Chains A and B, each alone.
Chain A
Amino acid sequence: MKAILSVILLAALAPFAAATGEEDGDQAVPSLIPSGGIMIFYKSEGPLSFVTMTPRDVPEGARRLGTVKGVSCQHGLSIPLAANIRATNVTSGYGDGSFRKALAQMKKEHPDLAGIYDVRTDLRVFSILGLYRKLCTEVTARAFARPGS
């Protein structure tokens, strides 16, 4: 019974934990792809915090580039060692789901991008049978280029 209650409590907190990745306070929660069981390999990077700009921070005369989007992803594999719901899994996690990579992707698509503001950060959760998981950081924002560029 205790085990069931623990699972329910953890599961109930999961979506709220994901939603509180970034908040107004001074505590930041990383969004790293979870890895349980027997972890054999883990090399992953995820978003932690990002103090973004508001329209007031945009330099005078800056050229507005409109809405831009950057995505970066982490991947995970989980392979059960037996055909049993309680079987131990061999897991791994890899990839770069960082803010840095998402912003680098934006910069690649818009070489004259100097900064972003009005930033919305979301997570895409993708999973097939729990065997393969993907956690992507999606940054949607308005962008600007330096004056005269």
Chain B
Amino acid sequence: MRKLLIAPLFAAALSGCGILYTDIKVPRGYRTSSPAEVKSAPDDPTVTGKACNRSALFLVAWGDGSYAAAVKDALGTRDGIMYDVRADMKVNAYLIGLYTKVCTVVSGRVAKP
């Protein structure tokens, strides 16, 4: 019986999904631009944005870890287009995954649209 319970708990913890309720957004694809593909300038600012999904007690998972949210966070109020983009995933898990945070982090430079 213990085995039967441990397996789904591990599965839920590692997949970032909750057994009872899940509403998360995960990144799938982002065709980013190179400096030659935008109106880049040497003084273009470098920005970083983060978007996260969270799960607790293996039961519920929520959040918006999408590329769209990460880019929106990076751009802030700027009306620009990101280029030379690095996208990374950051995972924080505590107490055998009772609380897990999975973040999509994008950093790059911002050119005029």
Q: Please, which residues of chain A bring their CB within 8 A of the CB of B3? A: 3-4
Majority SS of interface residues in chain B? mixed
Q: Contacting A120 at CB < 8 Å: which of B12, B13, B26, B66?
A: B66
CB B39 to nearest CB in A, in angstroms, measures 8
- Contact yes or no, A19 B28, CB < 8 A: yes
Majority SS of interface residues in chain A? mixed
Q: Chain B interface (Cβ within 8 Å of chain A)?
A: 3-8, 10-31, 33-34, 36-39, 66-68, 71, 81-82, 89, 102, 113
Q: Contacting B15 at CB < 8 Å: which of A3, A11, A85, A142?
A: A11
Q: Contacting B33 at CB < 8 Å: which of A4, A19, A54, A138?
A: A54
**Number of A-B residue pairs having CB atoms within 8 Å of each other in the complex:** 132
Within 8 A of B (CB), among A1-34: 3-4, 7-8, 10-12, 14-15, 18-19, 21-23, 31
CB A88 to nearest CB in B, in angstroms, measures 14
Q: Contacting B81 at CB < 8 Å: which of A55, A124, A129?
A: A55
Q: Chain A interface (Cβ within 8 Å of chain B)?
A: 3-4, 7-8, 10-12, 14-15, 18-19, 21-23, 31, 47, 50-56, 64, 69, 85-86, 118-130, 137-138, 140, 142
Q: Please, which residues of chain A bring their CB within 8 A of the CB of B22? A: 125-128
Tell whether A18 pairs with B26 under 8 Å between CB atoms, given A56-B37, A128-B21: yes
CB B108 to nearest CB in A, in angstroms, measures 12
